[in-house]
Amino acid sequence: MPHMDVLGWIVVGLIAGGLSGAVVERGPKGCIANTVIGILGGLFGGWFATEQLHSGPTSGFIGALVVAFLGAVIIRLILDAIDSDNQRSRDGRD
């Protein structure tokens, strides 16, 4: 597979979102949520791998899927932490 561009990370992110939703118990659930989290995770994972880790293009579909999956898990955990903070602040006011 050639170098992954933004469109490639989005497509791989769709698959990674479904996988992360099946593996991680926390965070938003549902088809649309998994799709959005997967796309964001794919973009985040691709950016992090190339820009922050200074790695070359991921090798093949499996490498891209692993990077996108890890990105989707990170996004899902961040969203869960934000939702937990909001839930605690709502419970404290009532």
Query: Domain residue spans in the chain?
Result: 6-88
Percent of the chain with pLDDT over 70: 85
Between CA 34 and CA 39 the distance in angstroms is: 9
Tell me the Cα Rg of the chain.
15
CA nearest 19: which of 8, 3, 34, 39? Answer: 34
**pLDDT tens sequence across 55-77:** 765 667 788 888 889 999 999 99
Answer yes or no: are the C-beta atoms of 34 and 75 closer than 8 Å: no
**pLDDT tens sequence across 38-48:** 888 888 888 88
Answer yes or no: are the C-beta atoms of 37 and 82 closer than 8 Å: no
Task: State if pTM tops 0.85.
Answer: no
- Higher pLDDT, residue 94 or 77: 77
Residue range 74-82: average pLDDT? 89
